[in-house]
Amino acid sequence: MAESATQYGEVIFKDVITLVRLKDTHTVILKDCSMTVEKGKLTVLVGPSGCGKTTVINLIAGYEVPYRGEVLMDGKPIAGPNWERLVVFQEMALFPWLTCYENVVFSPTVRGSMTKEEMHSEAMRLLELVGLKGFEEKYPMQLSGGMQRRAELARALINQPKIMLMDEPFRGLDAMTRELMQEYYLKLFEATKSTNLFVTSEIEEAIFLADKLLVMTNKPTKIKKAFDVDLPRPRDWKMATSPRYRELKAEILELLHEEAIKASVASGKADVDLAAAYERIREARK
Amino acid sequence: MATNAQTMTDTSDTLVSQTAVWKPVVKRSSWEQLKRKIFALATVRRISSVLIFLALWTVVVRFIPNFHQIPPPEQVFLAIFKIKVSVFFFEIFRSLYRVLSGFFLGILIGFPIGVAIGYSRILNYLLFPAVEMVRPIPPIAWIPLSVLFFVNIESQIIFLTFYGAFFPTVYNTVGGISGVDIRLPRAGMSFGVSKAQLLFRIILPAASPQIFAGLKIAIGITWLMVVAAEMIASKGGLGYLIWYNHTVMNYPFVFVGMGTIGVIGALCSVGVDRVGKRFTKWLDIF
């Protein structure tokens, strides 16, 4: 898995436009959005809330289709949902009526892609890998938030997807669990080196995880700037004190702050004076 | 992560052992245990609720002039012993047969229609407006038409009970299906389910709690309908038993009939609940 997975999963967006249709009008979500999710790397997408990050995930997963433009994976256009592109959702999306074990073997069972013995040994291996040994017979609602997220990881990993799509997966977890999950997820990625796209609105999380970091603008959304996060791997939380980390964080904060102000002006939550004041401060700083 | 799970089990262990330490170790005889149970405040309150009800009944019958024909509780109690057991049970089974035939017919026809309306947009447009038009008519208003539909009185009664069960089943099936979290079928589609598997392995299990809530309402309405229909049809059953004893002014028996309907209706409801719990084990896990 470690070798083969890195060969696949390159996703390219070419001038993608998506719309949300309302009654007699429509809102443009993505506008001329072009980007690349490189294979074998962990790409993180950060952006202000409500900017269409989930839309990007849905496009790659095949739940939505672009209005204009193309989304290609390994050179081929994406057609509908498929086990090659799996999503770990915000909040829990395990099947609550199945036990932890049944959730993990769900996909191989319905697809008939593995023999029973293979499936069982692989599921047990993955459950042990994500630290859920002994919880096979528990229902998802009996697990803690962190454990649910790990079960979901195992459920996706058993398919050996070409790309893992993480849609703010650690949102809603408490701070401690969240940090643990980030470190855990990073270890898992560093071990497999498969293609990952991770979406978040938290800058610290983004820098900590990313090989490549894409900052999104506010609606209509495109990629504002791409960063190569050249912090050494394997990483741990001591990294947060390194100068490079702080440099990156400052730069990204600046970009996002600008977008956040634009967003609040656009939605009428702040008056234009605030934006003007912000511009003045920036001028003064230069 | 394994450590996380470890600490969880650890704390629960210490909790258990602590309570074990703090629990006063006093051996009680079984008689004493029984006495404690009987004189527990909750039990005393429950019993006094019944006693107060009976006292109120007696007082109302004695002292309100218009109510003097109503039998006091002791007369009703004595009437139980005057029942001809064979006749009485025959009437019970007659009603029960009608209720259950109507109920299962309601499921047999209502459930597929509910699934069709909930699952297919085209069928939703084709069927739902008609259902919506007929639904507000109270089932009892169909009594005259049922006479036109069927010559056989037994069929008329079963039609009415069926009708009572039909709409709650359809409505809650539709509601349950349309209320399914979109992420569950989406995840299923990514995992490679076929159309049939999507319905049977994802949509229906996810909707099952509300479907069973609908069946519980349905069995209640079936009893309502069977009593109304039997009173009019004069073809036996508990409803007819009540009505007949009313016409011959044998009021204690009216009360016995009413009480029987109450008890058996409650038993039916509990039965449906039990079956529902068996299908939705994952819900009561705490």
Cβ contact (<8 Å) for A81 and B186? yes
Cβ contact (<8 Å) for A131 and B190? no
Which CATH number characterizes residue B247's domain? 1.10.3720.10
pLDDT band at B114, cuts 50/70/90?
Answer: very high
Q: Answer yes or no: is B100 within a domain.
A: yes
Determine the pLDDT at residue A159. 87
Co-location of B137 and B256 in the same domain = yes
Domains contained in chain B, number = 2
B173-210: b or e for each residue (b if 16 or more CB lie within 10 Å)?
A: bbbbbeebeebbbbbbbbbbbeeebbbebbbbbbbbbb
The rounded percent of chain A whose pLDDT value lies above 70 is 91
Q: Answer yes or no: is B9 within a domain.
A: no
pLDDT band at A257, cuts 50/70/90?
Answer: confident
CB B240 within 8 A of CB B229: no
Return the higher-pLDDT residue of A184 and A264. A184
Return the higher-pLDDT residue of B54 and B2. B54
Q: Answer yes or no: is B228 within a domain.
A: yes
Using one digit for the tens of pLDDT, what is the confidence trace for A209-225? 888 888 888 777 778 78
Determine the pLDDT at residue A95. 92
Co-location of B46 and B104 in the same domain = no
Q: How does strand A195-200 pair with strand A42-46?
A: parallel
pLDDT band at A176, cuts 50/70/90?
Answer: confident
Q: Indicate if the pLDDT at residue B11 is higher than 70.
A: no
Using one digit for the tens of pLDDT, what is the confidence trace for B34-86? 877 777 888 888 889 999 999 999 998 888 888 878 888 888 888 888 888 88
| Contacting B residues, span 18-77, partner chain A, CB-CB under 8 Å | none
The rounded percent of chain B whose pLDDT value lies above 70 is 90
Which residue in chain A is spatially nearest to B3 when comparing CA positions? A131
A5 CB contacts (<8 Å, ≥6 apart)?
A40, A160, A162, A192, A193, A194, A195
Cβ contact (<8 Å) for B4 and A180? yes
Which residues of B are less than 8 Å from A111 in CB distance?
191-192
B136 CB contacts (<8 Å, ≥6 apart)?
none
Cβ contact (<8 Å) for A184 and B1? yes
Chains A, B: CB pairs < 8 Å: 78
Q: Indicate if the pLDDT at residue A4 is higher than 60.
A: no
Give the tokens for residue B271: 């039965």
Co-location of B216 and B262 in the same domain = yes
Cβ contact (<8 Å) for B183 and A93? yes
Determine the pLDDT at residue B18. 47
The CATH architecture of the domain made up of A2-84+161-285 is: 3-Layer(aba) Sandwich (3.40)
Using one digit for the tens of pLDDT, what is the confidence trace for A9-29? 788 888 788 888 877 788 888
Determine the pLDDT at residue B232. 87
Co-location of B40 and B151 in the same domain = no
Q: Answer yes or no: is B2 within a domain.
A: no
Q: Indicate if the pLDDT at residue B222 is higher than 90.
A: yes
What is the rounded distance in angstroms from the CA atom of residue A59 to the CA atom of residue A81? Answer: 9
Determine the pLDDT at residue B210. 94
Determine the pLDDT at residue A3. 46
Give me the residue spans of the domains in chain A. Answer: 2-84+161-285
Co-location of B36 and B138 in the same domain = no
pLDDT band at B8, cuts 50/70/90?
Answer: very low
Co-location of B156 and B267 in the same domain = yes
pLDDT band at B13, cuts 50/70/90?
Answer: very low
Q: Answer yes or no: is B272 within a domain.
A: yes
A72 CB contacts (<8 Å, ≥6 apart)?
A11, A12, A14, A78
Q: Is B8 on the interface with A (CB under 8 A)?
A: yes
Cβ contact (<8 Å) for B4 and A111? no
Which residue in chain B is spatially nearest to A152 when comparing CA positions? B187
Q: Indicate if the pLDDT at residue B23 is higher than 70.
A: no
The rounded percent of chain B whose pLDDT value lies above 90 is 45
Interfacial residues of A (vs B; Cβ cutoff 8 Å): 61-63, 80-83, 85-87, 89, 93, 95-98, 106-107, 110-111, 113, 130-135, 139-142, 144, 146-147, 150, 159, 177, 180, 184
What is the rounded distance in angstroms from the CA atom of residue A70 to the CA atom of residue A78? Answer: 9
Determine the pLDDT at residue A16. 80
One-letter amino acid for residue A221 of the chain: T
Domain interval for residue B185: 82-279
pLDDT band at A244, cuts 50/70/90?
Answer: confident
Determine the pLDDT at residue B249. 87
A87 CA: distance to closest CA in chain B (Å): 7
Determine the pLDDT at residue B7. 42
Return the higher-pLDDT residue of B216 and B2. B216
pLDDT band at B217, cuts 50/70/90?
Answer: very high
3-state secondary structure of A216: strand
Co-location of B123 and B215 in the same domain = yes
Give the tokens for residue A184: 């855990």
